[in-house]
Every structure is written in C-alpha cells, then in structure tokens.
Amino acid sequence: MRIRPRQQLLDLWRAVLDYSYVGGEWHWGGRDGSNSISDAEQLLCLLYPATEIDAFALDRPDDIATDVEQALAPFGERTRIGGMLVGLLEDYVARYTEADGEPDFGAHGYLRADDDAVLTDRQYDIEIVDAYSMSLSLCISALRFLRGFRRFVSGEVRREAKQLEPRIDAVEEGIRVRLTAAMTGLVRSFVIHTPDPKSDAGQNILGMINQSDAADEELTAALSRRLERLRVQAANEVQLGKTAEADVADDLRLFECGWSWGIFDRAEPIENVGNHVGDALGHAASRPYLYFTTVALDGIRDLSSQRIRELDLLDETQRTLADALQLRLELTERYWSTIARFGTGRWPLEDIPWRTSDGDESEYFSLAVAAMLIQDLVVRESTDDLARTVAVFDQLARRARVISRLTGQDAAARLHHPGVRIRLAGSEAITGGPRIIWYVPDFVTMMLKRTIQAAQLRTTVATRDQLMALAESAMEHLDKRMLRHGPAAGLWDDTSGVLGEAGFARELPSWFMTERVMECLVLAYASFREPPLAPQTMMQRAVELLSEAEHLHNQERLLISDDYLSPKWTALNRIAQSLDRARSQLSERPGTAFSLATRALTDLDELAYARQDARRGRSI
C-alpha cells in the first residue's frame, strides 16, 4: 500500500472530529477511558501535524489551506479553529491539574494488574514515563501553536479575537507548569544500571552480547574498553537527578542506561523546579526498560529540535532540564548503538529475539534496540552498517507476520494483540498492591516509523527501495487494522482485520495506536519533502550524456546563420534551455538531468537527420 501522508492525515483529522466533536462538544477518551496519556494522544492527533507541517498550520487562520479547512469543518469557519484549539487546551489543563496546582500524570485505564488482580486507587494514580513523554510532546506542540496564534490575535481588531488574549496567557502558564514537571519526571526516571557480571542481570547481558563464546572475564574487559568514553561521560556529566549508588566508573562491573518505567526508587530530588515531581518518592526498579527508553527518547527529540531552539520557547529552568535530557539522550543512543553491534562477527542485534537484563525475550525488544541504532545513524548522518540493520528489520517483519501470512495459533499474534507484556518491577510496593502490567501493541508503528526514518539517509537505491517496501508493507498491515464501522471509523485499532479470531474487534478507538500512526504519517510527509537519492553512477551517466549533447549542440550552432527567427535557431535555443536545466539538476536529481539530456540528444539527432535528408533531396 502506498503511503500518501497528506491525504491520510486529512482523513485522520476528519475521523478524529467525527468521533470526538459531536453536537458541538468535545468528548475525551477512547476504549481505555480518559486519562492524562490517552487525552494527550487524542489532542496531539490534531496539534502535532499542525505544528510540524507548515501546510497544516492552524495558528494563522488567513493562511489555512482549503483542504485543511474542509477537514476541520465541524469546528466552523477558519477563523474559529484557533479558538477551538485554545478551548481544548484549557480543558485538558483543567482536567489534569490538581486543586493545589500540581500537574496530574496518572495513567489509570492504561494499567493492568498481574494475575487478574485488582489495582489499588494509588496504583492507578502512578506516574509513568509514557505520561511524562507524551505531555512533553503535547506541551511543546501547544506552546508552538499558542506562540503563533497570539501574534494573529494581537493584530486583530475584532472583539471576539481580543477576548482570546487573556485565555491564551492563562493556558500557556498551565502548559509551562506541566512541561517543567514532565521534564523533571523524565530526568528522574533515567537510570544507570551497574550489575555485577556474575549476577543474574550481568549473566543476561553477557549472554546477549557474547556471539563468539568468549569467557566472561575476557568479554567484560573487551566491553569495558569499548564503552570507556561513555563510562567517563556518564560518571562526570550526569549530575542533575543522578542515579544513586551507580558505580559506573568501576570497569569491573557492567553497565546499561536508559529509562525505567517511572521515577526510580532511589532517584535524587531536583531542587528549584517548583513541582512535586522534583522530590516525589519513586518506586520503579533501577534498570532501563527498552520500551520506556524509546518512548522517552521520542519525547526528548521533540524538545531538542532546531525549531524549538529558534523559537526560544523554554525558560531558564526548562533549558537546564533540556540540557540534562539531551545529555541522557546522546548517552543512551550511543550506548545501545554500540551494544547492538558489539563484536567482530555476528551482531548481538542479529541474534533475535533480544534478551533484556531481567531475562525477558521478545522480537519487540530487538526492534527497540534497532530503532535506537537507526536514530544514532540518522543523527550522525552515517550509513555505516545500515544494510545489515535493514536486514534485521526484514527478519523482524517476517517473524511478526507483517510481510508474511499469520498461521493458526501463531505466537506472533501476541505482538499485535494484546501486545508485549511488560511487568513494572517495584509497582507492587505501592500500598502493597499487585504488580502492574503494561501492554505494548505498537510493534508495527515502531517498525514503520524507523524504516521511514532510515530511508532519509543518503544510502544506496537498493537499500532505500528495501526500506520503502518494508514501510509500505507495514502501512498495509495498519490499513487492515483501521476501524471501518461505528463512530470511530477511520481511527485505530481493530486487530481482527489481520489476526482473525486471535485479534479483537472494537468500536471505540485506541488513541495509543492512532497517535502513533499519526506520528508515522508526519514523519513520512517530512521524508517525502527531502530531495531524492543522487547515486554517483547515475550522476556520472548524466554527465556523460550532457557532455555529448553540449558538444553536438555547439556543432549545430556552427551550421546555421544568425537568423534569430529561423525554426532551427528557435529549436537550438529550446535545446540549450533543456541542457541548462539538466546542469542545474545534476547534483540533486541526476535521473531528471539524465532524462533532459536524453531528450536534448534526440532533438539534436532530429535536426541532424533533417539536414542530411535535405542534402539528399538536393542531390537528386
């Protein structure tokens, strides 16, 4: 299935409003009820494209595109759309701000209890990394929208527009408070885990990266040498909310870094942030979870984009937190990129499925590590090892039945429904309740997002074609999971379309999945705007054709008079324009340059043939 991001995003907006905006009122929630994460995902389905894609911008009503205005027609005419979004942000902030002014990051309906037990009320209120990361993305999108919309409102003379100014100021203040708290939570959820090589966790790590049957002592020493620079950086630079008792400088111990499921149980407080998250007691185990690590990284990338720095959206406290998060992002991506490719033979990443330090195994964890490797390559604009990484994606797509047929009682079905089962270690300590379970069904959207991201690299045509084929297969899989009937038609997630009886048909939307599909489409839009690949071989062939065409063109110029109105002179001018155009396209679009040069050669041959034919006629 071809990916058509503009049309698919507009269809998504129509579906969001058909479900959410009924009878002039906005209805929060989906199949998992209403909570701070789900409602942020629901609102992001509108705000994220509007702030990431200029053609979808909603902060300048006079510039809203016609098809965008039509997609949001239930909100009313274009001058009302911005005010409606301000109202939704006001409602969200009010719903998830406590009476004392503190932000609420509760996950509620997204949480499950182990062994079908019942969670306590306090457990339903726990704050997890998903809530921090999604709030961070929402707050950044909201601030970007409000910044632009305020400029429009301040220039208006209509009374109804002027009435929005104090509302914008108030909701921006609430958004800023929430952003600071979300950033604080992410800083305090970052962990550095340093197990002894002989411990169970240490043996799991060594077993995963040992692809050459080396002795543990030899492997530990080799790994320590490979990670020495990261160890020094982690020991000397990770200070704000640092991981207590993590002896990362001890090269006799192993180490891994990333995000736990929430504020970990020995996280040091952060002063002067003005919210309860800065000194809240944590419960999460002090080891990284691959799922929560990838979620945290996605949120931090939204925070650290070039556009955010240019707009100067952050205050001094937030900039300090942003710098701390950026350091953790770089450290984490380099760590997992190194671990994924450790050794000289087969990569640990190629040994599917990946086994985590707590002993859990899943193709999903392999995909998460591959995703961090891809992001590291994209940041460094490197194609080193990309072909091998794409081969891993291909194998994972087959094992997850994304590009192959699902069989009866297939274990791969659990990757899509109910999703990978993640046990939140330490959550049972909250009021003595059962351990909390978190299900992750976004295998396909993660694969789609990373394949599109990898396709942006200046790689070979063959590798890019393989990536786009994987992306289109993932999109076809997701299309089969789109809800087709009921109030949420056009949204996600109906797994019965791909899993049959193993799936689950619902009429209510999963904002968890819908928001992730939206992110993929936004990334695809940005990817398609990049110039196409310019292979050196194609460029060389185009240069050779251009050289011949320009030489023949110069020869033809020698054979005609200075009659500027003659048909031959006009034809040669047209050919010259094509050759100039080909030269200008040579570096970025060599295929186009090749085509223009070929057409010029054909036209020149026709002129030469006509001249020869005329000579034969005279000789007769």
Predicted pLDDT of residue 617? 65
Element (H, E) at 353: none
Q: Answer with the residue of higher pLDDT: 132 or 251.
A: 132
Report, in angstroms and rounded to the nearest whole number, the Rg of the chain calculated over CA atoms. Answer: 28
Structure tokens at 546: 């251009």
Nearest CA among 131, 168, 157 for reference residue 280: 131
pLDDT per residue as tens digits for the range 85-101 = 999 999 999 999 999 99
Least confident of 152-161, 214-223, 503-512: 152-161
Residue with more model confidence, 601 or 503: 601
117-126's contacts with Cβ under 8 Å and 24+ in sequence apart are 117/433, 117/434, 118/434, 119/433, 119/434, 119/436, 120/430, 120/431, 120/432, 120/433, 122/430, 122/431, 122/433, 123/427, 123/430, 123/431, 123/433, 123/434, 123/436, 126/262, 126/283, 126/427, 126/430, 126/436
Supply the pLDDT for residue 374. 95
pLDDT > 70 fraction of the chain, expressed in percent and rounded: 94
**Higher-scoring residue by pLDDT: 366, 616:** 366
- Strand stretches in 380-487, DSSP E: 420-424, 436-440
The stretch 92-112 carries a mean pLDDT of 94
Residue 132 has pLDDT above 70, yes or no: yes
Q: Name the H helices within 190-315.
A: 200-209, 216-226, 228-237, 290-303, 306-311
What's the confidence (pLDDT) of residue 302? 86
List, for residues 471-488, the tens digit of each pLDDT value: 999 999 999 999 999 999
- What is the distance between the alpha carbons of residues 257 and 273, in angstroms, rounded to a whole number? 24
pLDDT at 265 over 90: no
How far does the chain reach from its first CA to its final CA, in angstroms?
61
Mean pLDDT, residues 339-344: 93
pLDDT score, position 538: 82
Nearest in space to 117 (alpha carbons), one of 473, 428, 477: 428
Q: State yes or no: pLDDT of 244 exceeds 80.
A: no
Residue 10 has pLDDT above 90, yes or no: yes
Whether the pLDDT of residue 175 is over 80: the answer is yes
Could you give the C-alpha distances from 148 to 89, 144, 172, 179, 287, in angstroms and in order? 15, 7, 12, 18, 41
Q: Which amino acid is at 211?
A: Q
Please give the pLDDT value at position 200. Answer: 95
Given strand 420-424, what is the order of strands in its sheet? Answer: 112-113, 436-440, 420-424
Is the backbone of residue 505 left (phi > 0), alpha (psi -120 to 50) or beta? beta
Nearest Cα neighbor of 205 from 197, 345, 213, 365 is 197
| Token pair in block for residue 253 | 């111990």
pLDDT at residue 504 in the model: 62
Model-level pTM?
A: 0.89
pLDDT at 49: 97
Choice between 111 and 235, residue whose per-residue pLDDT is larger: 111
Per-residue model confidence as pLDDT tens digits over 505-551: 578 999 999 999 999 999 999 999 887 777 778 888 888 888 898 89
Query: Which residues have C-beta within 8 Å of that of residue 435, sequence separation ≥ 6?
Result: 113, 114, 423, 424, 425, 427, 428
Residue 403's Cβ-count burial label (10 Å; 0-12, 13-18, 19+) is middle
